[in-house]
Amino acid sequence: MKLSEYLEILHLARISIEEYNNWGEDEIYKTTIADVLSNESSFIKSTYQLSYTENINPREELNNIKQKVSRCKKCSLGKTRLNAVFGSGTVNANLMFVGEGPGYDEDHKGEPFIGRAGQLLTKIISAMNYKRETVYISNIVKCHPMIDPDNPEKRSNDRCPSLEEMKTCIPYLDMQLEIIKPKIIVTLGACSTKGLLNNEEPISKIRGKLKEYKGIKLIPTFHPAALLRNPNLKKAVWEDMKKVIRYLETGEI
């Protein structure tokens, strides 16, 4: 056997082990060798930082990753979720919101931000003169972080994802960002802000400040759930959203 063939087999074996670790036994059989050889697997792409630019329909690519996420069990949240919540909106979005993680309603329906906080987010988006369909809405983790993970039917059972859970799930968000290429990200609340920026400042200090994540402009603001608890925070969020609008319209902040 030629050296190049040995190397090819080693490469396949390594990829198979990665696929097994990330998706489990079922998936390794579904991932065809042709798929692996042609490097079509999204996970492999993210692992090896290959480019998405050539011959790929972004909507299809996003959908492929969504399928992967729906089966993902890379962290323990995958074992207790009812539905993974990938994200919603358009692949052409200039603006991407990133929340902390699905709650009860989102876990039940598989859609992000559809509960009370989500309805407020929809209002904020309308006030900005956009629609949910013209932006992209996602979360830093795609499965419901629960205080009591044995009880997905319980209300008020949400918690901030741990740093470890965020670290495990962020590659999916990175893939979404790479495909959608938004001009600006708005992190909603302390969890997703910390997950992306690793900041020490509290959300009340860092909100409204222009930051960057992987070369993309980012503005943190309060989570809409915080506005439901304390409507006085709405003014600050609106100040932050005005900066976002200005940036999208003029390229300046």
User: Which residues contribute to the site for ligand URA (CB under 6 A)?
Assistant: 85, 99-103, 106, 112-113, 115, 117-118, 139
For residue 27, the one-letter residue type is E
> Which of 158, 224, 156 is CA-nearest to residue 187?
224
3-state secondary structure of 16: helix
Which pair of tokens denotes residue 109? 């329906």
Q: How far apart are CA 77 and CA 83, in angstroms?
A: 11
**Are the C-beta atoms of residues 68 and 78 closer than 8 Å to each other?**
no
Is the Cβ of residue 115 or residue 208 nearer to ligand URA in the bound state? Answer: 115
Mark 187-226 with x for binding to ligand SF4 (rule: CB under 6 A) and - for no binding.
----------------------------------------
Q: How far is CA 183 from CA 59, 114, 236, in A?
A: 18, 24, 22
Q: How far apart are CA 208 and CA 230, in angstroms?
A: 18
Q: Which stretch binds ligand SF4 (CB under 6 A): 59-67, 106-114, 138-146, 210-218?
A: 138-146
Closest distance of CB 85 from ligand URA, Å: 6
Instruction: Identify the residue among 15, 62, 65, 84 touching ligand SF4 (CB under 6 A).
Output: 84
3-state secondary structure of 56: coil
Q: Which stretch binds ligand SF4 (CB under 6 A): 47-55, 71-79, 106-114, 201-209?
A: 71-79
* Residue 86 contact partner, candidates ligand SF4, ligand URA, none, CB within 5 to 8 A by sort of partner: none
Closest distance of CB 141 from ligand URA, Å: 9
Residues interacting with ligand SF4, by CB under 6 A? 69, 72-75, 77-78, 84, 141-143, 165, 168-169
